Structure 1
Amino acid sequence: MFVYILTNKTKSTLYIGVTNDLQRRLYEHKTGLGSSNSFTSKYKCHFLVYFEEYGTPKEAITREKELKKWRREKKNNLIEKENPTWEFLNIDGD
């Protein structure tokens, strides 16, 4: 299970999600599969900048809920700890 953070090209918007298949979920966000009116489609959040892996769905969902409550500055610090330059970790985000 994965908790992940996506952003847009300008890195002005963050999206936090959870999935059991990160590659598939990134593809779904990129292509809009499942919901064309989604947050990630509206704000073009297709670029992976951070992720964590967990052993169980419960752990991942708990962490996702925790991160979603954080202020933007704390989320930025978390990303920058592992990815200081905010490199897009998925090559085909656009």
Structure 2
Amino acid sequence: MAQFVYIMASRPAGAIYIGRTGNLTARVAAHRAGLSAHTAKYNIRTLVWFEVHEDFATSLKRERAIKRWPRAWKNALIAERNPHWQDISGHIPF
């Protein structure tokens, strides 16, 4: 089953949330509904980056690595594929 590592943001270069899930569409909906305390507190509603992994272990390792990166690296990761930090939830594979 596909696993996703993703980043959501409040605005360009604003507050971010890094997570991992097996159902990205449902997880994004949960964040937007305010079901996560961190994303609700900082108004994080925009999916700005994600990548697909084939298994849980690989996705977990990648998520933990990205969380340890300096903020400038995270911003660069997003800007590389999404320079305007626009919502990309329409690009989630089904």
Question: Considering the TM-score relative to the shorter chain, is it more than 0.5?
Answer: yes
Number of matched pairs: 88
* TM-score, reference length from structure 1: 0.86
Q: Which SS does the other structure have where 2:43 is aligned?
A: coil
| RMSD of aligned residue pairs (Cα, Å) | 1.4
CA change 1:10–1:86 in 2 (3 A) is closer
TM-score scaled by length of structure 2: 0.86
- C-alpha distance in structure 2 between counterparts of 1:73 and 1:58, whole Å: 26
**1:10: how far off?**
5.4
Contact 2:17 2:44 in 1 (8 A): yes
Structure 1: where are the runs of 5+ without partners? none
**Structure 1 runs, 4 residues or longer, greater than 6 Å off:** none
1:8-62 C-alpha deviation (Å, 9 max, x unpaired):
03541111000000000001111123x5xx1111111110000000000110010
| Counterpart position of 2:33 | 31
The answer to whether structure 1 residue 67 and structure 2 residue 69 are counterparts is: no
Q: For residue 84 of structure 2, what is the aligned residue in structure 1?
A: 85
Aligned to 2:48: 49
